[in-house]
Every structure is written in C-alpha cells, then in structure tokens.
Structure 1
C-alpha cells in the first residue's frame, strides 16, 4: 500500500472524532509498525498541515478542532477508490459515449493525474475491461443533461418527440418525474400535459428539449410505482393479467436465477421444470422475451398470451417455407 493511502487511512480514523484514539489502537487498526506510525503522524502535521495533537490528559491523538473534523487539501482517494472511479468512468464512457464528458472532464483530469503519480495504470481499464453491447441502438443523447436537470430541479420541459411506431414527431409539454436506465437505454417517466396522463419517453427519441420556468407537476411515488412499475417491462401499467411460463429442466438452471419482475412468483415442478408467474400490462416486450427461449419455454396462461406467442412462432416458421 502506498504512503498516501496510509496517510488517508490514518486521517479517516481521526476525522470527526470528539474523543482521543490511543497509539496502540492506531497501530492495531492500521496494522503498521510504531516507526511507520510516527512518520505518518509527522506527515499529517508537517506536509498536510493537519492540527493533530497528542492529548496528554486523555492519553491519545485527536484533531484540535471544535468538532473533530479537518478537511484534507485537494482531492483524496485511496488507490482502491481511484481504481473504482476510473473503472466506473470507463464503463460510463463505453455504455453511453459522450454522455457526461463535459461534466466529468475536470474530475477525470484530476483522477488521471493521481493515478499516474501513484503508478496505478489509468490506461489499463480501456485494455482490460470489455463491454459488449449486443444489438445496441445508436443513440442521440445530446439532450440528456437538459432532461436530467429538469428532473432534478423539478422544472417542466417542452420537447419534440419522435414516435418510432407512427414515424411522427410531435411537441409535448411534460412534467418530468424520474429517469430509468433499462436494457442499455434511458427512459423518462413524465406527466404529459396534453394527454393528461403518465407517459414513458425514450430519451434518445427526444429531438429537442427546452426547460420552462414553470414548476413540474409532481406525482407521489406510490402513483408512479402503481402505474409504471407494477407490471412487466418498460411498457408498464396496471397489470391486466398474470403470465404463467413453464421452462424446461435444462433452461431452468439459468431462469431460476433471473428476476423478471419484483413481484414474480415461482415454483419448481417435480420433473425439474421451473414455473414463473409474472404480472403484465402490455404483452409486446413479454412476447419478445418469451420467443428468445424457443422450445425451452411453454406459455401456460393466459390463453390470449399463448395465442399471441403461437401466432408469432407460426409467422416465423412461414419465413422458411
């Protein structure tokens, strides 16, 4: 472990304590020698200007401040924290290129400098971590920060929104409620003032966004969860039915560890098959997920869902004569 790491660990033991901490406790917590502790104490005092004193009345060390707190100068992280930050930054850049480049640029520059100083290999994340975004759509995320700002500041938005299904663009005045990252895409839950109802907007389909100087209509979390999170998938709503799916014993080894919905119910059958019950509102996304399991899944109920899956399988088979 590097010396800056040890200094930071010592600081964290002292920072915010109103009582003293003995030398032996510091040695035990840091697992270092007495001579190294002496050097670290001197480093905190002389190099970082920490008001670290030895309180003879209570036979221990403390920061000589009113509340026991003392902020270290600059940006301080342990090597493990720096590695975590650079990894998360790489993940974000890979998953959403350019999404927060301008916002994170000053922090990224400082982190890169710290990593180089400590010889921690800031460039290794790009070489050693692979993220494969299979079938990911190209995204136009230039309006993400405006949308996110409106969500957090509780402001209304005027958006130009492209509807893929109808291939039309329309203007909407909306009150943003929350952002959701789902299957490699960002979605905005919002109250649409034209439709006077909750709607889900894909952020990538927002062609223009303008923040209004009007407070957003705020809906209770219970309402949002009831209408948008109580049924299966992103096309949520009040559940209208419960899908009962039965997976083969072989496929059950994987599906049993999956969470399709927070309120799903499941059971193992005597022959090793696995049965999953899921509340759903719209069947569009659910059908797509069922079809990807092919012959390893059977729709048991309801009949309407079973028939819809059968139609899709028949259409798929007709493609091959």
Structure 2
C-alpha cells in the first residue's frame, strides 16, 4: 500500500467510524508504523483541511462534523506515476503555449499539487528536468490565442482579421473553429471559413484581431476533418493529388528511415543501403522545403513536376552563389 492509498484509506476509516479511532487501530488497518500514522494525520489536517480532532477520553481520532457538514477529500486520486504524468503534460502545455487552458486547468492543478505534497514528490523537478527547445516558433498573441481557444471550446463562431503571408493582404473572416493544431512549433486553427465556404487552416500568429460571436459553430465529424486536414502532407491539407517518390542516400537513410513524414507514407531500404520513401501530398510547398534541407542526400524520382520544381530551386540558389559577388 503506497502513501496516497493510505491517505485515502484513512479517510474512509474516519468517515465510516461511529467512534474515535485509536492510533493502534489505525496502524493495524493501514499496515504501517506509529510515525507513518502521525504523519498522515498531520497531512490530512495541513494539506486537505480535514476536521480531524483527538478525543482524549476515548483516546482516538475522529472527524468533527457535528454541524452536519460532510468532509470529502479532493476527487482526484492517482498513484505517483500518474501524478507525474499529469503534471508533465501540464508543464509541456505551459512551455508550448503559456496561458493555454489556464482557467480550465488551474483548479485541477491546485489539487494535484496538494496531493503531490502528501506523496513527498517534488513538482519543481518537472520544470527543472524537462526542456522544450522551440527552434522555429513564431510569437503568438496571448490575447488572440485565448480568444481562439475560448471560441473553440465553447463551440462558438469567431470573427477574425487575418493577415496572409502568401499575398500580404488582411481579410475579415467568420469561422467555425474545429481544432487547434500544434505543428512544427507553431499553432494553427483548423476551421470552416464562412467566406470561402470551405475548411481552412489559419496560422494563429497571423490573426490581427478576434472576437467570439453568438452563433453556434458549425460541426463536422472527425472523419471529415481527418480526411481534409490529416490526409495530405503537412499543414497544407487537402486530398492528396500526387505521390512523391524520394530516394535518400545510404548516409541519410540512417536518419530518414526512422522518421514519419506522413501517416500513410511507404518506405523501404534498398540493397545498397539507400532508402526509398513514398509520400502522398496535395501542395508541394512544404514538401519541397523538406527535400531541399537534405541537399545532395536525396533525389526526387517522381513525379516529374516535383522533380523540376526542386531542380529550379537548386538552380536559383546556385545562381546566387555564382554571381561572383560577395555581399557584406
């Protein structure tokens, strides 16, 4: 029986007892020492504000609920590993996006911290030992992020002013939020755009203004959302139109063979140690960027249009380095 289980069992003993319980009886029922019983009594009083009193005449402890009140422990009980797992998730959320779901998580977080204290676990170790390095993250306004998250969870439509990087224009949109997606260290709102009458992804860091509307958001089932947002390569979603066939060198294969570029990818190691990867995609923008970062360690075999696009990018890069000018 671990420490938290003893706390819970001692609470059950006091709650169901009609008379004060002696320390000796507690030791027997909880299978522990006198020092352990004393520590649990102190913790029940200190961390859980238990109305635990000692009756000298009867030499026992009891819950003082004579005013008709019923005392209950916080309704969250986990073992040490489960507690650490929950607080680790909370810590990951804090580091990924400060303020995410703070209002929703704060009550449960406070209770968890109380239970951690009784288990003599150090919450500070989580923050100290877990690091998240956000290498390409873009700054996101806490105000707009909270507005998006609130509308999403309350299932309300959202009005946004959205600046698009692709055309450098700002437009006003009414959207029905569906999901928040954290992808490559940045947040995206998957939503139904009532202006375009279609599902779209919006980079949260490009939202310039936002406010919730009274109308309920349109609902889409998970299968339809997955078909649109998860079926294709990366954040450029949509039904796959092509299959990219990439051939990685034996040296690069030692890394790429263990990576997942797409849920429906197909890969195989070839006899010479090279690696062939097949990836479905709808839009080539993000795929081309990932191909180029592998330099001469990869070759596009198919389709021809994707191969020519990569060749064009490489030639443009070479022209910059072959102009014979050094810029300072």
TM over 0.5: yes
For residues 177 and 103 of structure 1, what CA distance do their matches in structure 2 show? 19
Shift of 1:313: 1.5
Change (3 A) 1:260 1:71: farther
Which string of whole-angstrom CA distances, capped at 9 and with x for unpartnered residues, describes residues 167-217 of structure 1? 222111112222222112221121211111221111222222222221222
In the alignment of these two chains, the number of paired residues is 281
For 1:164, the equivalent position in structure 2 comes to: 165
For 1:230, the equivalent position in structure 2 comes to: 231
Contact 1:155 1:176 in 2 (8 A): yes
For 2:98, the equivalent position in structure 1 comes to: 97
Contact 1:141 1:203 in 2 (8 A): no
Unaligned runs of 5+ in 2: 11-26, 45-49, 52-70, 323-328
Contact 2:135 2:185 in 1 (8 A): no
The answer to whether structure 1 residue 148 and structure 2 residue 142 are counterparts is: no
For residue 82 of structure 1, give the secondary structure of its aligned residue in structure 2. helix
For 2:250, the equivalent position in structure 1 comes to: 249
Shift of 1:38: 7.4
Contact 1:264 1:276 in 2 (8 A): yes
Unaligned runs of 5+ in 1: 12-32, 50-69
Shift of 1:296: 1.2
| Alignment map for 1:24-39 (pairs within 5 Å) | 36-37=30-31
Change (3 A) 1:225 1:82: closer
For residue 140 of structure 2, give the secondary structure of its aligned residue in structure 1. coil
Which string of whole-angstrom CA distances, capped at 9 and with x for unpartnered residues, describes residues 9-40 of structure 1? 869xxxxxxxxxxxxxxxxxxxxx97743789
Q: What's the Cα RMSD here? A: 3.4
For residues 75 and 265 of structure 1, what CA distance do their matches in structure 2 show? 43
For residues 117 and 90 of structure 1, what CA distance do their matches in structure 2 show? 20
Contact 1:99 1:142 in 2 (8 A): no
| Alignment map for 1:256-275 (pairs within 5 Å) | 256-275=257-276
For residues 122 and 220 of structure 1, what CA distance do their matches in structure 2 show? 38
Contact 1:8 1:76 in 2 (8 A): no
For 2:192, the equivalent position in structure 1 comes to: 191
TM normalised by structure 2 equals 0.74
Contact 2:247 2:301 in 1 (8 A): yes
Change (3 A) 1:134 1:248: same
Shift of 1:73: 4.0
For residue 263 of structure 1, give the secondary structure of its aligned residue in structure 2. coil
User: More displaced, 224-233 or 190-199?
Assistant: 224-233
For residue 264 of structure 2, give the secondary structure of its aligned residue in structure 1. coil
